[in-house]
């Protein structure tokens, strides 16, 4: 049976979050009704010079804005709510979420003067809201941020369970367990489809409970004679609570360091998610007057961000906080892929200051907020979906999650491997990918959204080192089509003004090499880089017998 929009089928399309980590945004459509689940951002890769954030392309959604009933949020992490200040400027619809999630969001909206323009609707776990033809129940799930929820979305075609980010923590800090009872209730009644978090699908076993981190802190703190600095994500409220509790037991006062840490702790205390006595918190001006053994600093900057407070402390460039021999620094967060070298340098600088450093490779000072394989199996068996769609992960994660689903008895024909922009339609107990809509990435630079054009990117990528050729190519992330370039810039190799004909010949060689690649290889930035590098290396050696440093820069758009 052919499925199309005119059939009034349930259609699900990801505008971000499939085949990548971050930028999560899922759209559910049935007839004239649309709801959006999450609206996140992605932080730029090193080659996106000057770019602050990457957000989903909402062109397809913008054309249907009059049909959007609401945006429903699973939790308050940036990769799920970070794009809202930009998207809500164009699509102003009610936003539903739990108290802390909306507390974090409202603070972001204030920065863009949108806090009085957007309707924020607070829900509690097991609350149900009717949004057009969709009935959405919010179900508690454990995660690394408080107040996370899965969504049970009842549609005319059946129930869809959208897990959001989750893990099965049987001993959570706040006692709020993942609501397996409600998930089982839906599973017994019949679930059309499960969309489940794939982030940790490569990890065997179970994800450790957050309480293990508290036990590690309780072991480390009494052994420390100097100041203690705990670096964590500002949204890790349970982590902050455990640090505060153990610091109080050890006779230490708390100094909050970092703008987002100060603000998120304030919001969490006001909403009752954090219990920290006023007299336990100290001001920066008190720091010089307290002995080191009475100080605990909770800071942002665990990823070694260049301008973060912790990096400035490590570089001995912080005006008020100076590390001394005997101080202890605990990096209580996971290493985000791509930040390994930066964090390694941060740790080296901390040791140069005389500090002792604990991190996840040497101590259990961090646990993941995402389900590992046994928990993912438990979710699949509890929900018992007819169809399964893995979400939240790079392509290999989605493939691995489908392999895991096969192991628990879901046949291959009922597992759907979708990527961003592909429309999955459900109709008359069938499911299929029926079309691909416009999707992609939009760059945010300061207050500019999508206005970083190719000339700006060219200037940012223009390297002025001798003996170098820079090749700049803009590629469509989904199709591999060349959007911009190739543009060739040289420094110390040939003088551009006098060698335009030579550089044009080099450019044509690159174009020919790209045409020789198949579509799958053109969608892989590393394959394109290799092909460009090899082509220009052969071209330069053959024509003038020189070996310049060749730097292909592939911008995925």
CB atoms closer than 10 angstroms to residue 90: 11
Question: Sheet harboring 134-140: ordered strands across?
Answer: 128-131, 134-140, 149-155, 158-162, 191-197, 385-391
Whether 397 is catalytic is: no
The count of other CB atoms within 10 Å of the CB of residue 367 is 21
How would you class 459 by CB atoms within 10 Å of its CB: exposed for 0-12, middle for 13-18, buried for 19 or more?
exposed
Whole-angstrom distance, CA of residue 332 vs CA of residue 239: 8
Question: From CA 289, how far away is CA 295, in angstroms rounded?
Answer: 10
Sheet bearing 441-445, strands edge to edge? 53-56, 441-445, 448-449
Query: CA 432 → CA 5, 388, 435, 449, 469, distances in Å?
Result: 13, 12, 9, 34, 46
User: Which residue do the tokens 């603000």 mark?
Assistant: 263
Peptide bond into 334 cis (omega under 30): no
Measure the CA–CA gap between 512 and 532, rounded to whole angstroms.
10
Q: Does 197 participate in catalysis according to the annotation?
A: yes
**DSSP alpha helices (H): ranges in 338-470?**
340-352, 373-383, 395-407, 454-461
Contact between residue 343 and residue 176 where contact means Cβ atoms under 8 Å apart: no
Give the whole-angstrom CA distance, residue 148 versus residue 139. Answer: 8
Dist CA 270 CA 100 (whole Å):
10
Q: Is the dihedral of CA 169, 175, 178, 183 positive or negative?
A: positive
Q: Which of 370, 392, 401, 477 is catalytic?
A: 370
Place of tokens 């003996």: 467
Rounded CA gap, 198 and 393, in Å?
Answer: 5
The catalytic residue among 197, 327, 445, 487 is 197
What angle (nearest 5°) sits at the alpha carbon of residue 512, between those of residues 507 and 517?
Answer: 125
- In eight-state DSSP terms, residue 209 is P
**404: closest CA among 174, 204, 164?**
204
Q: Are 489 and 472 in contact (CB under 8 A)?
A: yes
Q: Do 147 and 100 contact (CB within 8 A), yes or no?
A: yes
Close Cβ partners of 529 (under 8 Å, ≥ 6 residues apart): 552, 554
CA distance 165 to 48: 27
Name the residues annotated as catalytic.
197, 370
């Amino acid at each position: 049976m052919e499925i199309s929009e005119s059939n009034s089928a349930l259609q699900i399309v990801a505008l971000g979050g499939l085949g990548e980590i971050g930028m999560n945004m899922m759209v559910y459509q049935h007839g004239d009704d649309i709801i959006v689940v999450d609206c996140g951002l992605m932080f730029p890769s090193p080659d996106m010079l000057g770019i602050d954030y990457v957000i989903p392309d909402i062109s397809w959604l913008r054309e249907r804005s009059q049909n959007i009933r609401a945006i429903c949020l699973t939790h308050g992490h940036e990769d799920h709510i970070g794009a809202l200040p930009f998207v809500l400027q164009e699509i102003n619809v009610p936003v539903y979420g739990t108290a802390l999630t909306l507390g974090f969001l409202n603070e972001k909206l204030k920065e863009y003067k949108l806090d009085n323009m957007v309707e924020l609707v607070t829900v509690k776990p097991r609350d149900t809201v009717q949004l057009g033809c969709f009935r959405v129940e919010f179900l508690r799930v454990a995660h690394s941020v408080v107040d996370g929820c899965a969504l049970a979305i009842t549609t005319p075609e059946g129930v869809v369970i959208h897990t959001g980010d989750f893990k099965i923590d049987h001993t959570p800090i706040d006692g709020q367990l993942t609501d397996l009872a409600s998930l089982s209730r839906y599973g017994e009644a019949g679930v059309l489809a499960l969309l489940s978090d794939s982030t940790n699908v490569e990890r065997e076993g179970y994800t450790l409970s957050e309480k293990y981190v508290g036990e590690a802190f309780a072991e480390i703190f009494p052994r420390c004679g100097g100041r203690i600095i705990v670096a964590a994500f500002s949204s890790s409220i349970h982590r902050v609570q455990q640090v505060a509790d153990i610091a109080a037991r050890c006779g230490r006062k708390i100094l909050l360091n970092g703008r987002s840490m100060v603000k998120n702790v304030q919001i969490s205390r006001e909403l009752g998610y954090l219990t920290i006595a006023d007299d336990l918190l100290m001001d920066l001006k008190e720091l010089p007057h307290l002995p080191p053994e009475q100080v605990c600093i909770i800071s942002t900057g665990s990823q070694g961000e260049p301008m973060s407070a912790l990096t400035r402390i490590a570089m001995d460039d912080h005006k008020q906080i100076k590390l001394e021999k005997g101080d202890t620094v605990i990096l209580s967060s996971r290493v985000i892929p791509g930040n390994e070298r930066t964090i390694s340098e941060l740790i080296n600088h901390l040791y140069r200051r005389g500090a002792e450093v604990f991190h996840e490779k040497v101590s259990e000072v961090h646990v993941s907020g995402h389900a590992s394989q046994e928990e993912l199996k438990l979710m699949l068996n509890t929900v018992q979906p007819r169809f399964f769609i893995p979400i939240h992960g790079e392509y290999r994660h989605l493939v691995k999650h489908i392999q895991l689903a096969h192991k628990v008895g879901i046949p291959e024909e009922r597992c759907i491997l979708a990527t961003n922009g592909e429309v999955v339609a459900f109709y008359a107990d069938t499911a299929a990918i029926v079309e691909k809509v416009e999707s992609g990435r939009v760059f945010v630079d300061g207050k500019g959204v999508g206005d970083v054009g190719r000339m700006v990117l060219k200037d940012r990528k223009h390297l002025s080192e001798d003996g170098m050729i820079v090749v700049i190519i803009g590629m469509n992330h989904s199709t591999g089509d060349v959007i911009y370039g190739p543009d060739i810039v040289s420094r110390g190799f040939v003088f551009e003004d006098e060698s335009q004909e030579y550089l044009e010949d080099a450019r044509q060689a690159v174009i020919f090499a790209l045409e020789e690649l198949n579509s799958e290889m053109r969608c892989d930035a590393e394959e394109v880089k290799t092909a460009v590098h090899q082509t220009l290396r052969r071209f330069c050696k053959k024509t003038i017998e020189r070996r310049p440093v060749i730097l292909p820069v592939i911008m995925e758009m």
